[in-house]
Amino acid sequence: MVPMTQKKEAPPFRKTAETFMSGATTLEQRYFVSPEIFAEEQEKIFARQWVLAGHQSQIAKAGDYFVQEVAGESVIVVQDQKGEVRTFYNVCRHRGTRLCEDAMGHSAAIQCPYHAWTYALDGRLIGVPHMESVPGFDKAEYSLHAVKLAMWEGFIFVNLAQEPTPLEKVFAPLVGKFSHWHLPGLRSAKRIEYDVRANWKLMFENYSECYHCPGVHPMLSKISPYDSAENDLCEGPFLGGFMKINAGKSLSMSGNACALPVGDIKAEDHARVFYYSIFPNMLLSLHPEYVMVHQLWPHAPDRTTIVCDWFFHPDAFARKDFNPEDAVEFWDMTNKQDWHVCELSQQGIASRAYQPGPYSPRERIPAAWDREYLRQLE
Protein backbone atom coordinates (compact mmCIF):
# COMPACT_ATOMS: atom_id res chain seq x y z
CA MET A 1 0.00 0.00 0.00
CA VAL A 2 1.28 3.47 -0.84
CA PRO A 3 1.79 5.71 2.22
CA MET A 4 -0.34 8.82 2.10
CA THR A 5 1.13 10.93 4.89
CA GLN A 6 4.16 12.77 3.57
CA LYS A 7 3.42 16.23 2.21
CA LYS A 8 5.75 18.30 0.11
CA GLU A 9 5.45 21.88 -0.98
CA ALA A 10 5.26 22.34 -4.75
CA PRO A 11 7.99 24.56 -6.23
CA PRO A 12 7.13 28.10 -7.29
CA PHE A 13 6.23 28.51 -10.95
CA ARG A 14 7.21 31.25 -13.32
CA LYS A 15 5.95 32.23 -16.73
CA THR A 16 7.97 30.82 -19.58
CA ALA A 17 8.08 34.22 -21.30
CA GLU A 18 11.19 34.92 -19.22
CA THR A 19 13.19 32.32 -21.13
CA PHE A 20 11.81 32.72 -24.65
CA MET A 21 14.45 33.55 -27.24
CA SER A 22 13.15 35.89 -29.93
CA GLY A 23 13.95 34.57 -33.39
CA ALA A 24 13.83 30.88 -32.41
CA THR A 25 12.91 28.68 -35.35
CA THR A 26 12.08 25.04 -35.92
CA LEU A 27 14.87 22.60 -36.75
CA GLU A 28 16.25 22.17 -40.24
CA GLN A 29 14.79 19.45 -42.45
CA ARG A 30 17.77 17.09 -42.15
CA TYR A 31 17.09 16.52 -38.45
CA PHE A 32 13.79 14.85 -39.33
CA VAL A 33 14.60 12.91 -42.51
CA SER A 34 18.31 12.08 -42.58
CA PRO A 35 19.32 8.44 -41.96
CA GLU A 36 22.79 9.68 -40.99
CA ILE A 37 21.43 11.97 -38.29
CA PHE A 38 19.12 9.21 -37.07
CA ALA A 39 22.15 6.92 -36.67
CA GLU A 40 24.00 9.72 -34.87
CA GLU A 41 21.06 10.14 -32.48
CA GLN A 42 21.05 6.44 -31.70
CA GLU A 43 24.76 6.47 -30.88
CA LYS A 44 25.12 9.84 -29.13
CA ILE A 45 21.76 9.97 -27.33
CA PHE A 46 20.01 6.63 -26.97
CA ALA A 47 23.20 4.59 -26.47
CA ARG A 48 24.80 7.07 -24.01
CA GLN A 49 21.96 8.63 -22.02
CA TRP A 50 19.70 7.19 -19.33
CA VAL A 51 16.57 6.02 -21.14
CA LEU A 52 13.30 4.91 -19.60
CA ALA A 53 12.75 1.16 -19.99
CA GLY A 54 9.73 0.56 -17.75
CA HIS A 55 8.27 0.62 -14.25
CA GLN A 56 9.03 -1.69 -11.32
CA SER A 57 5.40 -2.85 -11.23
CA GLN A 58 6.03 -4.68 -14.53
CA ILE A 59 8.32 -7.11 -12.69
CA ALA A 60 6.48 -7.42 -9.39
CA LYS A 61 7.65 -10.98 -8.56
CA ALA A 62 10.99 -12.78 -8.70
CA GLY A 63 11.32 -14.26 -12.16
CA ASP A 64 9.15 -11.64 -13.88
CA TYR A 65 10.93 -10.12 -16.86
CA PHE A 66 10.43 -8.00 -19.94
CA VAL A 67 12.62 -7.30 -22.96
CA GLN A 68 13.27 -3.82 -24.33
CA GLU A 69 15.19 -2.75 -27.43
CA VAL A 70 17.52 0.19 -26.76
CA ALA A 71 19.60 1.71 -29.58
CA GLY A 72 19.42 -1.55 -31.51
CA GLU A 73 20.31 -3.71 -28.51
CA SER A 74 17.91 -6.18 -26.88
CA VAL A 75 17.95 -5.80 -23.08
CA ILE A 76 16.44 -8.17 -20.51
CA VAL A 77 14.95 -6.51 -17.41
CA VAL A 78 14.24 -9.02 -14.63
CA GLN A 79 13.62 -9.23 -10.90
CA ASP A 80 16.04 -11.72 -9.35
CA GLN A 81 15.43 -14.10 -6.45
CA LYS A 82 16.52 -11.46 -3.92
CA GLY A 83 14.07 -8.88 -5.21
CA GLU A 84 16.71 -6.86 -7.07
CA VAL A 85 16.09 -5.47 -10.54
CA ARG A 86 18.71 -6.68 -13.02
CA THR A 87 19.40 -5.75 -16.64
CA PHE A 88 21.38 -7.81 -19.14
CA TYR A 89 22.16 -7.90 -22.81
CA ASN A 90 19.89 -10.52 -24.38
CA VAL A 91 22.90 -12.47 -25.65
CA CYS A 92 24.09 -15.96 -24.67
CA ARG A 93 27.77 -16.18 -23.67
CA HIS A 94 28.18 -19.39 -25.68
CA ARG A 95 27.56 -18.51 -29.33
CA GLY A 96 25.67 -15.26 -28.99
CA THR A 97 22.14 -16.58 -29.41
CA ARG A 98 19.19 -14.38 -28.44
CA LEU A 99 18.03 -15.72 -25.07
CA CYS A 100 14.51 -14.35 -24.48
CA GLU A 101 12.20 -14.33 -27.48
CA ASP A 102 9.01 -13.21 -25.72
CA ALA A 103 8.45 -9.54 -24.93
CA MET A 104 7.63 -10.43 -21.31
CA GLY A 105 7.15 -13.45 -19.11
CA HIS A 106 8.10 -15.33 -15.96
CA SER A 107 10.88 -17.85 -15.49
CA ALA A 108 12.93 -19.35 -12.67
CA ALA A 109 16.06 -19.03 -14.83
CA ILE A 110 17.21 -17.75 -18.22
CA GLN A 111 17.98 -20.58 -20.63
CA CYS A 112 19.40 -20.35 -24.13
CA PRO A 113 17.05 -21.97 -26.67
CA TYR A 114 20.01 -23.21 -28.74
CA HIS A 115 22.36 -25.24 -26.49
CA ALA A 116 20.59 -24.86 -23.13
CA TRP A 117 23.21 -22.79 -21.36
CA THR A 118 21.31 -21.66 -18.28
CA TYR A 119 21.70 -18.50 -16.21
CA ALA A 120 20.41 -17.57 -12.77
CA LEU A 121 18.25 -14.45 -12.54
CA ASP A 122 21.28 -12.54 -11.27
CA GLY A 123 23.15 -13.38 -14.48
CA ARG A 124 25.42 -16.19 -13.22
CA LEU A 125 25.98 -19.13 -15.53
CA ILE A 126 24.66 -22.16 -13.64
CA GLY A 127 24.08 -24.84 -16.30
CA VAL A 128 26.43 -25.84 -19.15
CA PRO A 129 25.76 -29.24 -20.77
CA HIS A 130 28.86 -31.21 -21.81
CA MET A 131 31.38 -28.50 -20.93
CA GLU A 132 32.97 -30.33 -17.99
CA SER A 133 35.73 -31.77 -20.20
CA VAL A 134 36.77 -28.40 -21.69
CA PRO A 135 40.22 -27.54 -20.23
CA GLY A 136 40.18 -24.43 -18.05
CA PHE A 137 36.48 -23.74 -18.50
CA ASP A 138 35.10 -21.75 -15.55
CA LYS A 139 31.39 -20.94 -15.34
CA ALA A 140 32.18 -17.87 -13.24
CA GLU A 141 33.80 -16.25 -16.28
CA TYR A 142 30.67 -16.48 -18.42
CA SER A 143 27.98 -14.54 -16.59
CA LEU A 144 25.59 -12.51 -18.71
CA HIS A 145 26.87 -9.09 -19.69
CA ALA A 146 25.12 -6.54 -17.48
CA VAL A 147 23.62 -3.26 -18.68
CA LYS A 148 23.91 -0.20 -16.46
CA LEU A 149 20.71 0.25 -14.44
CA ALA A 150 19.27 2.94 -12.18
CA MET A 151 15.91 3.50 -10.51
CA TRP A 152 14.10 6.82 -10.28
CA GLU A 153 10.71 7.16 -8.57
CA GLY A 154 9.92 3.50 -9.35
CA PHE A 155 10.90 3.81 -13.01
CA ILE A 156 13.65 1.67 -14.51
CA PHE A 157 16.31 3.47 -16.54
CA VAL A 158 19.11 1.81 -18.50
CA ASN A 159 22.29 3.14 -20.09
CA LEU A 160 24.44 1.32 -22.64
CA ALA A 161 27.53 3.43 -21.98
CA GLN A 162 30.46 1.79 -20.20
CA GLU A 163 30.87 4.59 -17.64
CA PRO A 164 27.79 6.83 -17.75
CA THR A 165 27.29 9.84 -15.53
CA PRO A 166 25.37 8.49 -12.51
CA LEU A 167 21.63 8.95 -12.87
CA GLU A 168 21.52 10.55 -9.42
CA LYS A 169 23.70 13.37 -10.75
CA VAL A 170 21.84 13.75 -14.04
CA PHE A 171 18.44 13.79 -12.30
CA ALA A 172 19.54 16.06 -9.45
CA PRO A 173 17.12 18.86 -10.55
CA LEU A 174 14.20 16.44 -10.02
CA VAL A 175 15.08 15.20 -6.52
CA GLY A 176 11.90 15.22 -4.41
CA LYS A 177 9.94 17.07 -7.07
CA PHE A 178 7.37 14.34 -7.64
CA SER A 179 7.52 12.51 -4.30
CA HIS A 180 3.98 13.44 -3.28
CA TRP A 181 2.59 11.51 -6.27
CA HIS A 182 4.05 8.28 -4.78
CA LEU A 183 5.06 7.08 -8.23
CA PRO A 184 6.90 3.89 -7.12
CA GLY A 185 3.72 2.34 -5.70
CA LEU A 186 1.40 3.07 -8.62
CA ARG A 187 0.14 0.33 -10.94
CA SER A 188 -0.65 0.45 -14.63
CA ALA A 189 -4.27 -0.27 -15.52
CA LYS A 190 -3.78 0.00 -19.26
CA ARG A 191 -1.00 0.05 -21.86
CA ILE A 192 -1.45 1.08 -25.49
CA GLU A 193 1.29 1.03 -28.13
CA TYR A 194 1.11 3.43 -31.06
CA ASP A 195 3.02 3.11 -34.32
CA VAL A 196 3.51 6.68 -35.49
CA ARG A 197 4.87 7.51 -38.92
CA ALA A 198 6.78 10.54 -37.75
CA ASN A 199 10.13 11.51 -36.29
CA TRP A 200 10.42 11.11 -32.52
CA LYS A 201 11.33 14.76 -31.99
CA LEU A 202 8.00 15.90 -33.39
CA MET A 203 6.23 14.13 -30.52
CA PHE A 204 8.35 15.93 -27.93
CA GLU A 205 7.73 19.29 -29.58
CA ASN A 206 4.00 18.55 -29.83
CA TYR A 207 3.79 17.51 -26.17
CA SER A 208 5.53 20.68 -25.03
CA GLU A 209 3.00 23.24 -26.22
CA CYS A 210 -0.75 23.79 -26.37
CA TYR A 211 -0.67 26.38 -29.15
CA HIS A 212 -2.29 23.66 -31.26
CA CYS A 213 -4.92 22.63 -28.72
CA PRO A 214 -7.95 24.75 -29.74
CA GLY A 215 -7.99 23.30 -33.25
CA VAL A 216 -6.60 19.80 -32.63
CA HIS A 217 -8.07 19.02 -29.18
CA PRO A 218 -11.49 20.67 -28.81
CA MET A 219 -12.56 18.40 -25.95
CA LEU A 220 -9.31 18.89 -24.04
CA SER A 221 -9.54 22.65 -24.49
CA LYS A 222 -13.03 22.72 -22.97
CA ILE A 223 -11.70 21.19 -19.74
CA SER A 224 -8.18 22.64 -19.60
CA PRO A 225 -7.68 26.19 -20.95
CA TYR A 226 -5.00 26.08 -23.63
CA ASP A 227 -3.45 29.39 -22.55
CA SER A 228 -3.09 28.51 -18.84
CA ALA A 229 0.41 26.98 -18.95
CA GLU A 230 2.93 27.94 -16.27
CA ASN A 231 6.34 26.26 -16.43
CA ASP A 232 9.00 25.88 -13.77
CA LEU A 233 11.56 23.90 -15.80
CA CYS A 234 12.39 25.99 -18.85
CA GLU A 235 15.87 24.92 -19.98
CA GLY A 236 17.86 21.70 -20.10
CA PRO A 237 16.89 18.00 -20.29
CA PHE A 238 13.81 18.38 -18.06
CA LEU A 239 11.08 20.75 -19.22
CA GLY A 240 7.51 21.56 -18.26
CA GLY A 241 5.04 22.75 -15.67
CA PHE A 242 1.28 22.76 -15.18
CA MET A 243 -1.94 23.70 -16.92
CA LYS A 244 -5.23 24.45 -15.20
CA ILE A 245 -8.22 22.13 -15.09
CA ASN A 246 -11.63 23.76 -14.84
CA ALA A 247 -13.10 23.65 -11.33
CA GLY A 248 -14.72 20.33 -10.45
CA LYS A 249 -13.57 18.69 -13.68
CA SER A 250 -11.15 15.92 -14.59
CA LEU A 251 -9.40 14.98 -17.81
CA SER A 252 -11.70 12.06 -18.62
CA MET A 253 -14.51 11.40 -21.07
CA SER A 254 -17.15 12.09 -18.42
CA GLY A 255 -15.29 15.06 -17.01
CA ASN A 256 -15.41 13.42 -13.56
CA ALA A 257 -12.64 11.93 -11.43
CA CYS A 258 -12.27 8.24 -12.27
CA ALA A 259 -10.20 7.01 -9.30
CA LEU A 260 -8.74 7.78 -5.90
CA PRO A 261 -6.13 10.55 -5.75
CA VAL A 262 -2.73 9.04 -6.49
CA GLY A 263 -0.91 10.83 -3.67
CA ASP A 264 -0.78 13.81 -1.34
CA ILE A 265 -2.26 16.23 -3.83
CA LYS A 266 -2.47 19.77 -2.45
CA ALA A 267 -5.74 21.64 -2.75
CA GLU A 268 -4.71 23.86 -5.67
CA ASP A 269 -3.20 20.90 -7.53
CA HIS A 270 -6.61 19.24 -7.77
CA ALA A 271 -7.25 21.82 -10.48
CA ARG A 272 -3.94 21.28 -12.29
CA VAL A 273 -2.35 18.76 -14.64
CA PHE A 274 1.45 18.68 -14.77
CA TYR A 275 3.32 17.90 -17.98
CA TYR A 276 7.06 17.20 -18.03
CA SER A 277 9.36 15.92 -20.74
CA ILE A 278 12.37 13.96 -19.51
CA PHE A 279 15.04 13.71 -22.19
CA PRO A 280 15.38 11.60 -24.26
CA ASN A 281 12.33 9.30 -24.21
CA MET A 282 9.90 9.99 -21.34
CA LEU A 283 6.77 12.13 -21.17
CA LEU A 284 5.35 12.37 -17.64
CA SER A 285 1.78 13.62 -17.19
CA LEU A 286 0.61 13.97 -13.59
CA HIS A 287 -3.12 14.24 -12.90
CA PRO A 288 -4.77 14.31 -9.47
CA GLU A 289 -6.10 10.74 -9.79
CA TYR A 290 -3.78 9.11 -12.35
CA VAL A 291 -0.39 9.41 -13.98
CA MET A 292 0.14 8.90 -17.69
CA VAL A 293 3.59 8.00 -19.02
CA HIS A 294 4.73 7.86 -22.63
CA GLN A 295 7.89 6.05 -23.72
CA LEU A 296 9.25 7.01 -27.15
CA TRP A 297 11.28 4.49 -29.17
CA PRO A 298 12.55 5.71 -32.56
CA HIS A 299 12.92 3.06 -35.29
CA ALA A 300 13.68 5.23 -38.31
CA PRO A 301 13.73 8.94 -39.18
CA ASP A 302 10.01 8.71 -39.93
CA ARG A 303 8.81 5.99 -37.56
CA THR A 304 8.41 5.90 -33.78
CA THR A 305 6.75 3.49 -31.37
CA ILE A 306 5.05 5.23 -28.45
CA VAL A 307 4.17 3.13 -25.41
CA CYS A 308 1.57 4.76 -23.15
CA ASP A 309 0.72 3.58 -19.61
CA TRP A 310 -2.00 4.84 -17.28
CA PHE A 311 -0.98 4.44 -13.60
CA PHE A 312 -3.36 4.53 -10.62
CA HIS A 313 -3.22 4.22 -6.84
CA PRO A 314 -3.09 0.48 -6.00
CA ASP A 315 -6.07 0.80 -3.64
CA ALA A 316 -8.21 2.18 -6.47
CA PHE A 317 -8.36 -1.18 -8.27
CA ALA A 318 -10.63 -2.79 -5.65
CA ARG A 319 -13.15 0.05 -5.50
CA LYS A 320 -16.52 -0.11 -7.25
CA ASP A 321 -16.16 3.47 -8.48
CA PHE A 322 -12.84 2.75 -10.22
CA ASN A 323 -13.28 3.62 -13.90
CA PRO A 324 -9.86 3.80 -15.58
CA GLU A 325 -11.33 3.57 -19.07
CA ASP A 326 -12.81 7.03 -18.53
CA ALA A 327 -9.27 8.45 -18.54
CA VAL A 328 -7.83 5.96 -21.01
CA GLU A 329 -10.48 6.70 -23.64
CA PHE A 330 -10.01 10.45 -23.21
CA TRP A 331 -6.25 10.33 -23.72
CA ASP A 332 -6.34 7.62 -26.39
CA MET A 333 -8.50 10.01 -28.40
CA THR A 334 -6.18 12.93 -27.62
CA ASN A 335 -3.04 10.89 -28.34
CA LYS A 336 -4.36 9.89 -31.76
CA GLN A 337 -5.16 13.51 -32.54
CA ASP A 338 -1.56 14.41 -31.68
CA TRP A 339 -0.01 11.56 -33.62
CA HIS A 340 -2.09 12.49 -36.67
CA VAL A 341 -0.79 16.06 -36.79
CA CYS A 342 2.74 14.82 -36.10
CA GLU A 343 2.45 12.57 -39.16
CA LEU A 344 1.18 15.53 -41.18
CA SER A 345 4.18 17.52 -39.96
CA GLN A 346 6.55 14.73 -41.02
CA GLN A 347 5.00 14.66 -44.48
CA GLY A 348 5.32 18.42 -44.88
CA ILE A 349 8.85 18.63 -43.50
CA ALA A 350 9.96 16.00 -46.05
CA SER A 351 8.92 18.37 -48.87
CA ARG A 352 11.50 20.36 -50.84
CA ALA A 353 9.40 23.40 -49.98
CA TYR A 354 10.05 23.09 -46.22
CA GLN A 355 12.04 25.78 -44.47
CA PRO A 356 12.38 26.27 -40.70
CA GLY A 357 9.55 28.45 -39.40
CA PRO A 358 9.42 30.87 -36.45
CA TYR A 359 8.28 29.65 -33.06
CA SER A 360 5.55 31.68 -31.40
CA PRO A 361 5.78 32.89 -27.77
CA ARG A 362 3.46 29.96 -26.93
CA GLU A 363 6.13 27.54 -28.17
CA ARG A 364 8.92 28.46 -25.77
CA ILE A 365 9.31 24.97 -24.37
CA PRO A 366 9.63 23.26 -27.79
CA ALA A 367 12.30 25.83 -28.65
CA ALA A 368 14.10 24.99 -25.40
CA TRP A 369 13.78 21.27 -26.17
CA ASP A 370 15.40 21.83 -29.57
CA ARG A 371 18.33 23.60 -27.93
CA GLU A 372 18.88 20.70 -25.54
CA TYR A 373 18.64 18.19 -28.39
CA LEU A 374 21.29 20.04 -30.40
CA ARG A 375 23.53 20.24 -27.34
CA GLN A 376 23.29 16.46 -26.93
CA LEU A 377 24.44 15.94 -30.53
CA GLU A 378 27.57 18.07 -30.13
Q: Cα–Cα distances in Å, from 243 out to 136, 199, 269, 283?
A: 64, 26, 10, 15
- Sign of the CA dihedral with 304 first, then 309, 310, and 311 last: negative
Per residue in 194-211, pLDDT tens? 999 999 999 999 999 999
Q: 16-47+182-377 in CATH: which number?
A: 3.90.380.10
Biggest CA–CA distance in the chain, Å, is 74
CB 139 within 8 Å of CB 125: yes
DSSP code at position 208: T
Cα–Cα distances (Å) from 320 to 2, 78, 255, 348, 375, in that order, read 19, 33, 18, 47, 49
- CATH class name, domain 51-170: mainly beta
* 50-89 pLDDT tens trace: 999 999 999 999 999 999 999 999 999 999 999 999 999 9
- Which pLDDT band holds residue 41 (cuts at 50, 70, 90)? very high
C-alpha radius of gyration, the chain, whole number: 22
pLDDT tier for residue 269 given thresholds of 50, 70 and 90 = confident
Give me the residue spans of the domains in the chain. 16-47+182-377, 51-170
